[in-house]
């Protein structure tokens, strides 16, 4: 019997890959507002999928597979984290 699982996907740029959006937020917003203790900002994408599966592990496997096959992210420049919510 299947259950519904919430699966989170977090996509970020790999270390060494420039993050112009993060750099802009850091330089033009955070530092200008006096938060000098913040050293850097990295941005990314967050997806929350509701998946019917036999188990949490199966739900994660399904989401990882669809992210790769449907090119939800670019493995050359992005890191991906897939986990159950909660």
- Determine the Cα–Cα distance for residues 70 and 68; give it in Å rounded to an integer: 6
- Determine the Cα–Cα distance for residues 20 and 26; give it in Å rounded to an integer: 10
Domain span at residue 38 reads 3-84
Number of domains in the chain: 1
Summarize pLDDT for 30-64 with one digit per residue, the tens. 999 999 999 999 999 999 999 999 999 999 999 99
* Sign of the torsion formed by the C-alpha atoms of 48, 79, 75 and 68: negative
H-run or E-run covering 6: strand 3-13
Summarize pLDDT for 13-32 with one digit per residue, the tens. 999 999 999 999 999 999 99
- Determine the Cα–Cα distance for residues 38 and 28; give it in Å rounded to an integer: 13
Token pair for 27: 């330089």
Confidence (pTM): 0.85
CATH code for the domain in which residue 70 is found: 3.30.1280.10
């Amino acid at each position: 019997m299947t259950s519904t699982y919430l699966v989170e996907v977090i996509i970020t740029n790999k270390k060494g890959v420039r993050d112009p959006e993060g750099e802009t937020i850091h330089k033009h917003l955070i530092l200008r507002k006096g938060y000098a203790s913040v050293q850097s900002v990295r941005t990314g994408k967050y997806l929350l999928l509701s998946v019917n599966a036999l188990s949490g592990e199966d739900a994660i496997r399904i989401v990882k597979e669809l992210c790769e096959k449907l090119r939800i992210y670019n493995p050359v420049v992005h890191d991906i984290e897939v986990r159950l919510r909660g």
